[in-house]
Amino acid sequence: MLARSAAAVIAAAVAVSAVQAADVVADFYRGKQVNLIVGYGPGGGYDIYARLLARHLGRFIPGSPVVVVQNMPGAGSLRAVNYLYNIAPKDGATFAMFARNMPLIGVLGGNSNVAFDPRKLTWLGSSSSFVNDAYVLIVRKDAPVKSIDEARRHDLPALVLGGTAEGATGSDVPIILRDTIGLHVKQVIGYPDSTAIFLAIERGEVHGRTVDLSSIKSVKPEWLRPDSGYRVLVQFARATRHPELPDVPTARELAKNEAARALIELAELPYTLSRPFAAPPAVPPARAKALQAAFLAAQRDPLYLEEAGKLRIDISPIDGTEVLRAIDRIAAAPPELLDYVRKLLAETRGGG
């Protein structure tokens, strides 16, 4: 009886403590503005996900703060994550969304511009684990090649693809495809954001780009109509073909050998955290837990999911713990594969 009474007292004390902690968190956020930094300009896939979350997240944070998006493009979102890690207030009123390959870049090291450790960020999670998405190479009707087989022939003109900053996903995936499946490609990089690349394709400045299928559905759905003339040649970050692209091969299918396939699989790991959100290191624990819980609650909210459906974007969330596990899997990759990626990033930054 005494043991049960003691346990009941302890449980009651814990419950009271939890309520008091929640009240303190609510007091902090009540009437506040929470800033969501996006590492890209307005209108692209990352921005669409961030603004969707911003419209709903405040309902799930104690104190119901207003969440405001602030775009901070630069260096493929490296500017934003460096800001988050080193400059942003660590009080829980700022968090950010940045490129899926930033954790990989942080793990690799060797880049003097990288000023963050992805393991020390306060991870909220990722809105998409890419299980329902694909990263695709899409080209215009008048591109010089009409199929992936032709795109791998070096006696035909190279595909000219548009990209944003050097070292961003849109720049490194074409090089990976060059080295692993023999894609004959040239790149025009330095477009300020995804919207500018879409416009460049429509103007004929470049033949195409690599991009999330969900982003095309959201921003340029007309490109996916059978009569549009646009063609998807290959899909990346897929172990199997996407059900909406049954005739389009995956990069894994086209790999030149087992070593190439292993490299593709490593490069695809960041897509598990395809739309990542994180706060700075050392956020007060109660506020960090509140943000993490609010993030997951928003991902399950019917109103949020209804709006995501209208935007045609994939919602397949993972939590912060799963993000850290994905980062650990990247760090545990064979050294020779990590060395290749270091050289690749040096090349796409203009250093190779």
In a shared domain, residues 180 and 258: yes
Q: Which domain holds residue 253?
A: 135-269
Answer whether residue 3 is part of any domain. Answer: no
Domain boundary among 245, 269, 293: 269
In a shared domain, residues 122 and 212: no
CATH classification of the domain holding 33? 3.40.190.150
Answer whether residue 243 is part of any domain. Answer: yes
In a shared domain, residues 202 and 254: yes
In a shared domain, residues 153 and 262: yes
Record the tokens describing residue 5, joined without a space.
Answer: 């009474």
In a shared domain, residues 118 and 77: yes
In a shared domain, residues 172 and 205: yes
- The answer for residues whose C-beta is within 8 angstroms of residue 293's C-beta and 6 or more apart is 60
In a shared domain, residues 101 and 141: no
CATH classification of the domain holding 148? 3.40.190.10
Answer whether residue 224 is part of any domain. Answer: yes
In a shared domain, residues 98 and 223: no
Domain boundary among 216, 249, 269: 269
Answer whether residue 351 is part of any domain. Answer: no
Domain boundary among 269, 294, 328: 269
CA separation for the pair 345, 352 (Å, rounded):
8
- pLDDT tens by residue, the chain, 352 residues: 555 655 444 544 333 444 556 889 999 999 999 999 999 999 888 999 999 999 999 999 999 999 999 999 988 899 999 999 999 999 999 999 999 999 999 999 878 899 999 999 999 999 999 999 999 999 999 999 999 999 999 999 999 999 886 555 667 899 999 999 999 999 998 888 889 999 999 999 999 999 999 999 999 999 999 999 999 999 999 999 999 999 999 999 999 999 999 999 999 999 999 999 999 999 999 999 999 999 999 999 999 999 999 999 999 999 999 999 999 999 999 999 999 988 887 766 543 3
Answer whether residue 68 is part of any domain. Answer: yes
In a shared domain, residues 206 and 298: no
In a shared domain, residues 175 and 203: yes
Answer whether residue 348 is part of any domain. Answer: no
Answer whether residue 37 is part of any domain. Answer: yes
Q: For the chain, what is the domain count?
A: 2
- Nearest alpha-carbon partner for 193 in 231, 213, 219: 219
Answer whether residue 1 is part of any domain. Answer: no
